[in-house]
Amino acid sequence: MPQPLPIQFLSLDLDALAGATGRIAVLAEPDQPTSAGFRKLDRLTRGALARAVASEAFGKLKPGEAMELAWPAGLQAEAVQILRLPKRADVAQARKAGAAVGKAHGTGATLVLAEGHARAADIAFGLALRAYEFDTHKTGEKKPRGPVTVAVTNPEAVARAAAPMAAVAEGVFFTRDLVNEPANVLTTSDFAARLAGMHELGLQVEILEEDELRRLGMGALLGVGQGSESPSKVVVMQWNGGGDEAPFALIGKGVVFDTGGISIKPAAGMEDMTMDMGGAGVVAGVMRTLALRKAKANVVGLVGLVENMPDGRAQRPGDVVRSMKGDTIEVINTDAEGRLVLADVLWYAQERFKPSGMINLATLTGAIIIALGHENAGVFSNNDELCAAFLSAAKAEGEGAWRMPMGDAYDAKLKSRIADMMNVGGRDGGAITAAQFLARFVKPDVPWCHLDIAGTALLKSDSTLAPKGATGWGVMALDRLIRDRFER
């Protein structure tokens, strides 16, 4: 899997700037004092940097954006990238500046003159996240990425601050890799094997196969995958870094490919349904992050892995299945399959682990994209305190999230003539009725959030911190939530 770029933090050698090859990035802000590195580069380029910063074009840049001087006279470097970043920049601005460097980074070396900037670690974090590439399936010679050095005043202190961010970056990369993989590679068995490999990091990983799922009564989950050659599985990942307290549970929908089943989707755009395991991918990325940074908390991650295919054994519209909870569900639309998977895994998590709270993630509905676009995930919750804590964590990490309503009127739309409930409630309020369905499988005393990430898991264009494709949305926010709320 692609690894985040290794980044060195070193003291700045002013005398070496003239001979530095590759790319140099330097920070500046109009009408603010410049750094020693900026002044040295400006002298070497006969005032080119100062003229650039004084220009109207630079003045129009927003914090975190960059201007580039190609092949500047007086330097060996092929380019100097001038980042507009005030000395009191916030986290988002610093990461955006780093991302501008990461986007431009290639096979040559990159030197970032962060010097005494208070957000140097965040600059490096943004650089690492944006430098991600998924080229696993491209043939031809692959040249290694060049080295990255961040020059700072206190390398040891900045390296300590950056270490947990590096763990988060690896978790984000793990999620992006999973979401980007094609379904003929990332089968349910391959997915489970990748998660099992994380036992080397200290996670306890258990794979529940179909026989065990039948014994447990997971008829809702098993019904989704019965038309596929890939066996359905549930993978349980435990990180026990806390004391004796009950774990917090993360639950992910892992539909490795979703044709819609018998209620088949239109052909146009179906290729994107390789990302329908995005919720499970985020859970996996968070668990990897927690293990890498040795989090002082107890967290269990559970993912339901299935494939929704139409064949002679596939689930039909009108079928009735029985969930692990014991409730019966009339399947009106086989393309509303993710909620069936989550229903059983949510109930299993509560029965086995008695968690202190739960958050589930799923690329669940197209309706949430209509409501919120691709800027925010939908947040549904039965607990104001947990919801507020998650929204605060998401805001701190720059991951868009918006709370959506729930209520009895929406819940009534799930009433079935022949079973305890239907799996859909009509087109209107579709994201909300999906959340109401899941809420039926949450015990009344368990704090719970449902995150509908259909609009944020994979994008058709670049975002600030990621190239187009999988974003890894949610890894940073959930890691922050666990750090702020559950670590001792």
Q: Are the beta carbons of 474 and 383 closer than 8 angstroms?
A: no
Which residue among the candidates 23, 145, 339, 413 is catalytic per the annotation? 339
C-alpha distance across the termini of the chain, in Å: 32
Active site residue 316: no
Active site residue 265: yes
**Residue 77, CA atoms < 13 Å, CB-side half-sphere:** 25
Q: In whole angstroms, what is the distance from residue 435 CA to residue 381 CA?
A: 9
Residue type, 372: L
Which is it for the CA torsion 131, 134, 136, 141, positive or negative? negative
Element (H, E) at 82: strand 79-84
Residue type, 143: K
Residue type, 109: A
Strand order in the sheet with 298-308: 204-208, 233-240, 298-308, 248-258, 357-362, 448-452, 377-381, 401-403
Q: In whole angstroms, what is the distance from residue 336 CA to residue 364 CA?
A: 8
DSSP state of 35: P
Q: In whole angstroms, what is the distance from residue 436 CA to residue 424 CA?
A: 10
SS3 330: strand
Q: Are the beta carbons of 308 and 259 closer than 8 angstroms?
A: yes
Element (H, E) at 258: strand 248-258
Query: C-alpha angle 458/463/465, rounded to 5°?
Result: 105
Radius of gyration of the chain (CA): 24
Alpha helices by DSSP H, listed for 69-154, are 91-104, 120-130
How many residues appear in the chain?
A: 488
Which residue among the candidates 43, 265, 296, 395 is catalytic per the annotation? 265
Q: Are the beta carbons of 41 and 80 closer than 8 angstroms?
A: yes
Q: In whole angstroms, what is the distance from residue 437 CA to residue 417 CA?
A: 16
Give the other-Cβ count within 10 Å of 439's Cβ.
18
Catalytic site positions: 265, 339
